[in-house]
Structure formats: C-alpha cells, structure tokens
Amino acid sequence: MISKLPNVTTSIFSVMSKMAADHQALNLSQGFPNFESDPLLIELVNKAMKDGFNQYAPMPGDIDLRAAICEKVKLLHSCVYNIDKEITITAGATQAIFTVLAALVKKDDEVLIFTPAYDCYEPTIELFGGKTRAVQLEAPFYKPNWEKVEDQINNHTKLIIINTPHNPSGAVFSKDDLLQLQKLTEKYDLFVLSDEVYEHIIFDQQIHYSVSKFKALSKRSFVVASFGKTFHNTGWKIGYCLAPEPLMNEFKKVHQYNVFSVNNPIQKALAIYLATPENYLNLSRFYQNKRDLFLELIKDSKFKYTPSEGTYFQMLNFSDIAELSDIDFTEKLTIEHKLATIPVSVFNKNRLDDKQIRVCFAKTNEVLISAAKIINAI
C-alpha cells in the first residue's frame, strides 16, 4: 500500500505522554486539565441522559445549543449568525478543522499557516492534495509580519489559517493584525480558517479579537471553537463551527458523512450551561491565576520566558541551561528530571530550534508546585 501521508509519524503529544508514563514523570506536555469540570455541568449531562436524550441529535446540532452559541457570539463580538444556516456542532475542534479543509482544499491549492502551528493542519491539507506555505513567527513574542505573509501569497493561495490565542506560544493577535488580515483576504480573494479554541483564556485585560468582530472578514471565514478546552472536559470532544451560509453549506456536505451528529446529552447540557455567561467569562481570571502562580514559582530558575498572553501554555527558553536540541532536552527532562514537556521545533518551519519548550499550566496548584521544584533544581 502506498501511503497518502508518507511523512506523517506519531504525534509528539502521544510520544511525550507515553514517555511520561514510562518514566513516571509529571506530565505538562499534552494540553489538558487535570481537574474536573464544574459539577453542575456533569449533573446537567446526567439529567439529559436520564431524560432520554440518548439518540441522534440533528445533523447541525441541538437547536437550543446553537441558539446559546448565537447569543454568546452576539454578546462577545456583536455578530449574529443564523441559528439554522450558519452554526454547526462538531465532534471537537479538530474535526471541525478537518471538515473545513476537506470542503475547501483541492489538488494544488495552497494554504498559508503560521508556525509554530498545531500539528493537525499540514497533514490534513496534504491529504486533500493541497500544499502548505508556512510563515514563521519569531520567538519570543511570536507576532505576525504581514509583509512576509503577503510575500507568500500567489495565484494558488486559497486559505489562510490563523490561531489566536496561539498554541503553542500563548501569543494573541491584535486588532491591527485582524485588520491586516482582512485587507489581504479582500485584496486576494482568500478564505480564512480561524482556530479560536482558546478564545476564553486570555490575560492581562487583553481582548480576544475574533474574525467575527470584523464584518468583511467574517463573510469569508470559518470560526472553530471548543467546549472541551473551555470547560475542562477535552475527552468529551465537542466544539462548533461558525460560517456564513454559502461556506457552511459546503462544510455540512462533508460533516454529514464524516460525523453526521454529535453527542446528544452533552449538547443538551451545554445549552443550559451557556445561558449563564459567567461560566465562560470567568475563565480568563481562573487561568491567569494559574499562570501567575506558575511564573512566580519559577522566577528564580535558569529558564527565560515571556509571560503567556493567552491559552494555558507557557513557553520556556532553556538556552542558558543546555546546548542540546529541544527534542533531546525534553527527553532528558522527562527521563532524568521526571518532567514531561513539548519541544517546540516540531511545530516550526523547517524544524527551527529556538531552544523553546512548551509547558501546560492547566493543572492543580499542587502539580504546578511540584513541577516548579523540578524546574528550579535544573
């Protein structure tokens, strides 16, 4: 058999999590919380199951959940999506990303991404015959250079993927960034896939600028979001996609044969839970407290860092500690010091090694304290 993805290997997240388990290391590599969801949300799911919502949900998703999402987006971004035609519930954000790319990308289409990039983008583009052009974000601030972006656009360019707040760097796109993006998409007639799974985790009074806030940009954009990231239940695999009707029509053509419908009782529970905006509006403060605790604990370590602006990830620079590659350093850190992290070069253009590792601080305070003791001893 000839592989359609001959260059794809096991995800770094799986590799590092297995290494953490094999060596009984604290796992700050994979991006998931180690604390429970709100008990109220668990109760709402249980109630929905007991109330009989255990069969297929409608293909676009539960109508009440779509209405709740519509209200949330209206509240946050002053943008209204049609409940019936422009909102689809998905089996997590990764499925939504896959579906967008399946619906849009044809042979020899080119897609611009910003590296370091979430590792599902490029293989999916390749799977459907497209080609990836990467624009490298420069450490330590990871801000886009829009002149470099424009230099990469040609007659084959169809789509730009953005991710804000950005994984793995924790950087946040500014209002000016979105205006620059809007200008380019109009000039070159491009689509946008906006990965906004960390939309509710943003720090220091910064604002999350969704593409939904910009009228011209929203008309040519897919927005992808995740409830798992938002409400500490990544294993539920539930998210959603927003897009204007012509784009959503193409999305649904793939979605209906890929997933068809998503977990029904969880949709019923989330529809009720979203009716209280504080359930998502308070998340930034919750995670900023964790970021601030973690950085205070490691402030005297040999690692260098720029505080994360969003997400629940923090980049650490180890260039004053070792001359190893980031891959070798994370392996040594896991095996010898019992702390698992992620080497960032695997997400970079041409595997650029800036001596940066990524840690996840979506952990209990006890775990963060234990991790800090290891970090401070290095």
The 3 state secondary structure assigned to the chain is CCCCCCCCCCCHHHHHHHHHHHCCCEECCCCCCCCCCCHHHHHHHHHHHHCCCCCCCCCCCCHHHHHHHHHHHHHHHCCCCCCCCCEEEECCHHHHHHHHHHHHCCCCCEEEEEECCCCCHHHHHHHCCCEEEEEECCCCCCCCCHHHHHHCCCCCEEEEEEECCCCCCCCCCCHHHHHHHHHHHHHHCCEEEEECCCCCCECCCCCCCCHHHCHHHHCCEEEEEEHHHHCCCHHHCCEEEECCHHHHHHHHHHHHHHCCCCCHHHHHHHHHHCCCCHHHHCHHHHHHHHHHHHHHHCCCCCCECCCCCECCEEEEECCCCCCCCHHHHHHHHHHHHCEECEEHHHHCHHHCCCCEEEEECCCCHHHHHHHHHHHHHC
Burial of 299 (0-12, 13-18, 19+ CB in 10 A): exposed
pLDDT at 275 over 90: yes
pLDDT band at 58 (very low <50, low <70, confident <90, very high): very high
Mean pLDDT of the chain: 97
The arithmetic mean of pLDDT across residues 187-208, rounded, is 98
The arithmetic mean of pLDDT across residues 248-261, rounded, is 96
pLDDT at 72 over 90: yes
Determine the pLDDT at residue 280: 97
Contacting residues for 340 by C-beta, under 8 A, at least 6 apart: 16, 17, 19, 20, 25, 26, 27, 28, 29, 330, 333, 334
Q: Where in the chain is the domain with CATH 3.40.640.10?
A: 39-279
Question: What pLDDT, in 10s, does the model give residues 107-141?
Answer: 999 999 999 999 999 999 999 999 999 999 999 99
pLDDT at 25 over 90: yes
Determine the pLDDT at residue 28: 97
Tell me what percent of the residues of the chain surpass a pLDDT of 70. Answer: 100
The whole-angstrom separation of Cα 327 and Cα 355 is 9
The answer to whether 170 and 141 have CB atoms below 8 angstroms apart is no
pLDDT at 317 over 90: yes
CATH of domain 12-30+282-377: 3.90.1150.10
Residue 19 CA from chain centroid, whole number:
23
pLDDT band at 30 (very low <50, low <70, confident <90, very high): confident
Determine the pLDDT at residue 217: 98
Q: pTM of the entire structure?
A: 0.97
pLDDT at 16 over 90: yes
For 39-279, CATH number out of 3.40.50.920, 3.40.50.300, 3.40.640.10, 1.10.3720.10 equals: 3.40.640.10
Question: What pLDDT, in 10s, does the model give residues 217-235?
Answer: 999 999 999 999 999 999 9
What tokens were used for 145? 């250079």
Q: Where in the chain is the domain with CATH 3.90.1150.10?
A: 12-30+282-377
The whole-angstrom separation of Cα 114 and Cα 348 is 9
Question: What pLDDT, in 10s, does the model give residues 318-365?
Answer: 999 999 999 999 999 999 999 999 999 999 999 999 999 999 999 999
Determine the pLDDT at residue 33: 94
